[in-house]
Structure 1
Amino acid sequence: MSYLGAPDMKKQLEEIIHWYELRQDQGGGLGVDELMGELDGVMAHVRDQFQEMEICSRLSSQEPDDLEAIKLLRPEGDRRLVARLADIADFDDRLMGAMMGRFAGCTLGAAVELLEIDRMKGLAEIGGDEWPPMDYWQYVTNGDVLRYTKNRFIDYTRDRMCGVPVDDDIAYTLMGLMVVERFGPCFGTADVVAMWDELIPIAYTAEERALENYRAGVDVEKIGEVNNPYVEWIGAWIRSDGWGYMSAGWPEVAAEMAYRDAVVSHRRNGVYGEMMFSAAIAAAFTLDCPLRAIEIGLQEIPAKSRFADAIRWALSVADDVTDYQDARDRVEAQFKDMNIVHAINNACLVVFGIALGGLDITKAISQTVAMGMDNDCTAATVGSLIGAVVGKDGIPAHWTEPFGDTIQSYFNGIESFSIKDVHARFMTQAEKVWAYHQSS
């Protein structure tokens, strides 16, 4: 799979802005505002042309957005792995393991999100940390800068952490729980975005655009696609975990719940990523191999989609990947010029992180964070999948002790959550999800 890099127009646009500023400072030369208005009109026209452009018919037929069409294009698969939720041995412990693994992976990556590998190496050297990191960071840059209006970057370091620091990857996991608590297992897409509108003070890329469209009165079925070039980025599959937790052992149900959430903001491969990882997490609670869980997750998305092709490639070469740098190099070569927050390339890094770490969650999240790209997202998913297999006791204490019993929150009107309470609530909703689908 190859990608043609976009023309580098950022520098040109920056220079145009600087010319505008200069001419304004010099007294507003004739035609300054007219020129900027002309540029704005041209850019709006080009954007609209891209939005209206049709994708190729072959790709469109292989990558539908409709759930029933998606199901028709799935391979044969293991839709349900146990007869009852109670048949999952030690589900309560494995659920806590999945949660704690997610929190640990996310927190380790959040402090260095999107940084290049050499930059992370430098931080490790300054802080006296091992590289790749085997514990939370001791030194970060921009320590006083806020993330999500709540925690400073320094709050993500080893000695300053007090609870799970805020991150959108954690927030959306909790959001899924609250959606099902309020609206039940058969919640709709409109229910999801209504809760976003109520609780989320800040969002980015696809989620931000969906909320803008919703608040502007766009039909709920269209809010994820109107003026939204981010529909295949990573933002949907970071919302996977809650559906997998509440559908443990039943991958098909997890994928269906994920679909109803994903289409709020994403389309095609952005949606498939959330469906696949939700199904994989649901499967992991019944297995002893997280890579096998990913194989089962693949059974819930179109077999010929670009996302499925990419994951099959990653699985096929995973045994040959030697370390974080090799993983990053392979993904860069396979998906040249793909955006570093795309759903596809980051999903392959999840596969490689699990392959490198096995059931050693420290090694797995360490290697995954060291790969860079959207590494709080990737390490969180790696931690969730492995944690669902090994349980809480399979996670070394240095990853969980700094959390105490607290999850920090940036939701409107909610300062924090209790980890024990969230665990109990997920257990309750899992029972309700199972009861609902067994009776329907």
Structure 2
Amino acid sequence: MLRLTWVQPEDLIGHELRQAALDGREPSAIAARWSAAGGRAAPLRAGASPEPASRYLRTLAEDLLDELADLPSRLADREPTDLTRIKAGCPSWPAPAPAGVPTPARYEAAWLGRAIGCLLGKPVEKLPLEAIRQLAEAAGNRPLNTYFTARGVPPELLAAHPWNRRSTHTSLAENIDGMPEDDDLNYPLLNLLLLQRHGRTFTTTDVGRLWLDELPAGRTFTAERIAYRNLLTGIDPPHTARHRNPFREWIGALIRADVHGWTNPGDPAAAAEQAHRDATLTHTANGVYAAMFTAAVIAQAATATGPHDIHTCLRTGLTVIPPTSRLAQAVQHAIQLADRHGDFDTVVDELHAAHAPTHHWVHAIPNTALIAAALTHANGDFTGSICRAVSGGWDTDSNGATAGSIAALLAGAPTSLPDRWTAPLKNRLATSVADFNGTGFDALAHLTHRLTPLEAPHP
């Protein structure tokens, strides 16, 4: 029996009940109806329930998902998704700053940094925080300083906390042989195609068409899989992000933001606006803000003079999202924690205490906060940033990828990244996107450089 993850209504309803409560709706009456009918009250951690629901229960789930979407939100005015309203709520919306186009070497560093951070986090994705700490400690790799390994780890610990099963043979230090496929790299590749085909004035509909042409459905997850399904059933953007989509504030749009930042050096507002058009295919509110924040941080980092500029970059990122939003408040809190505590474990523990009880581990709010904390605490240093981001748990590969992209861009060149990180990648990327399989990071850097307009703000 084929049980697809992230699409069955009976599996989505628990996630939607949780998300509705987070975004200011009042779902308790609908939750009671679902429970009284025998539905699962709590969402699955991941995946699909092992057996299909009855026809009655599935139909009820579909109806309740629609009812939940119609509930009014007390946060609607504080957290709009419409770009005009977002900009109206951002009193310090940034102006373009003088900047030259980064060199291909700088883009190569950014691509490598994204891949390295992703690869570092892959073996421990989905593992609880304490398991990550124990596995690193057992291998003599805590504080984290290099790729995870099974060497020296007691068998009983591996049995208690098995590696992410899809990554064991490609992402442990002893097994790395080039960069394996991952959605955290697939989406930047798709956005290169997007800019090649449609330019900087692409529409959200263009993003959707590109996905149908070039992105295998089985390579999508959470909000992206829901939006893909919605496109196939004839639903147009931006309703694709809202229709029966409880993952609309998760991390998926954030991991698509890098190219928008890379190709708008010195213009964080333009980067954020591009990220918004991309993100609204699949996400709303804080899910969109996470992408806009990240794109703006990267656009600023593309013009920076070194890792120490990370603090300015993060402040710039906050200017493109509503200061009253939950994401802005979470990021500001995370930065304050990172400034206050010398021990990053303390920062992580406080972030988990604040967010783990209410947010899924893939939600954009806690993960964006952790990325900001890691970059702040490491003062923009590449190794420090990716290791802190991954050691903090939650969506480890995505967090490592974004932190790595930003910190490597600040580092400025591939030669600034330690060989222990870059050498195992062998300048080779695996993917199922278009004709990119086996492409080198140097080639991707030149392509990114060509897509960066020379008329961007420059001296």
Per the TM superposition, whether the score is higher than 0.5 is yes
Taking a change above 3 Å as real, the CA distance of residues 171 and 323 of structure 1, as seen in their structure-2 partners, is farther
C-alpha deviation, 1:412, in angstroms: 5.7
CA contact (8 A) 1:106 1:379 kept: yes
Taking a change above 3 Å as real, the CA distance of residues 144 and 233 of structure 1, as seen in their structure-2 partners, is closer
C-alpha deviation, 1:230, in angstroms: 0.8
2:250 is equivalent to residue 239 of structure 1: no
Within 1, Cα distance between the matches of 2:205 and 2:440? 28
CA contact (8 A) 1:255 1:276 kept: yes
Q: Report the equivalent of 1:55.
A: 73
Within 1, Cα distance between the matches of 2:132 and 2:324? 36
CA contact (8 A) 1:245 1:281 kept: yes
Q: Report the equivalent of 1:76.
A: 92
Q: Report the equivalent of 2:228.
A: 211
CA contact (8 A) 1:324 1:368 kept: no
CA contact (8 A) 2:189 2:433 kept: no
Within 2, Cα distance between the matches of 1:13 and 1:77? 45
Within 2, Cα distance between the matches of 1:396 and 1:180? 31
Describe the superposition over 1:158-199 as per-residue Cα deviations: whole angstroms up to 9, x where unpaired: 232222121111111111111101111111111111111122
Within 2, Cα distance between the matches of 1:357 and 1:246? 25
Secondary structure class of the residue paired with 1:111: helix
2:130 is equivalent to residue 118 of structure 1: yes
Code of the residue aligned with 2:129 in structure 1: it is: I
2:61 is equivalent to residue 43 of structure 1: yes
Q: Report the equivalent of 1:274.
A: 291
CA contact (8 A) 1:258 1:275 kept: yes
Within 2, Cα distance between the matches of 1:220 and 1:363? 39
- Structure 1 unaligned segments of length 5 or more: list them: 16-32, 147-151
Q: Report the equivalent of 2:380.
A: 359
Q: Report the equivalent of 2:439.
A: 417
Secondary structure class of the residue paired with 2:277: helix
Code of the residue aligned with 1:53 in structure 2: it is: L
Equivalent residues in 2 for 1:303-322, closer than 5 Å: 303-322=323-342
* Stretch deviating more after TM superposition (255-264 or 135-144): 135-144
* Stretch deviating more after TM superposition (271-280 or 44-53): 44-53
* Stretch deviating more after TM superposition (303-312 or 226-235): 303-312
Code of the residue aligned with 1:68 in structure 2: it is: T
Describe the superposition over 1:360-418 as per-residue Cα deviations: whole angstroms up to 9, x where unpaired: 32122112211110111111111111111112233111111111221110326653322
Within 2, Cα distance between the matches of 1:122 and 1:365? 18
CA contact (8 A) 2:100 2:265 kept: yes
Aligned match of 1:251 in 264, 268, 271?
A: 268
Describe the superposition over 1:186-237 as per-residue Cα deviations: whole angstroms up to 9, x where unpaired: 1111111111112222211100000000011112331111111111111111
Code of the residue aligned with 2:60 in structure 1: it is: V
CA contact (8 A) 1:143 1:154 kept: no
* Stretch deviating more after TM superposition (244-253 or 135-144): 135-144
Code of the residue aligned with 1:50 in structure 2: it is: L
CA contact (8 A) 2:94 2:320 kept: no
Describe the superposition over 1:253-273 as per-residue Cα deviations: whole angstroms up to 9, x where unpaired: 111110110001001110011
Within 2, Cα distance between the matches of 1:133 and 1:404? 22
Equivalent residues in 2 for 1:25-424, closer than 5 Å: 36-56=54-74, 59-82=75-98, 84-86=99-101, 91-124=103-136, 128-139=139-150, 145-146=165-166, 153-201=168-216, 202=218, 203-287=220-304, 288=306, 289-335=309-355, 336-392=357-413, 393-411=415-433, 414-424=436-446
Larger radius of gyration: 1
CA contact (8 A) 1:323 1:367 kept: no
C-alpha deviation, 1:43, in angstroms: 2.9
Secondary structure class of the residue paired with 1:184: helix
CA contact (8 A) 2:382 2:407 kept: yes
CA contact (8 A) 1:241 1:277 kept: yes
- Structure 2 unaligned segments of length 5 or more: list them: 1-20, 42-51, 151-157
Within 2, Cα distance between the matches of 1:259 and 1:417? 28
The CA RMSD measured in Å over matched residues stands at: 2.8
Code of the residue aligned with 1:170 in structure 2: it is: L
Within 1, Cα distance between the matches of 2:375 and 2:264? 22
CA contact (8 A) 1:248 1:282 kept: yes
Percentage of pairs with the same residue:
29
Give the TM-score taking structure 1 as reference length.
0.84
Secondary structure class of the residue paired with 1:425: helix
Taking a change above 3 Å as real, the CA distance of residues 138 and 55 of structure 1, as seen in their structure-2 partners, is same
C-alpha deviation, 1:125, in angstroms: 5.2
Taking a change above 3 Å as real, the CA distance of residues 129 and 193 of structure 1, as seen in their structure-2 partners, is farther
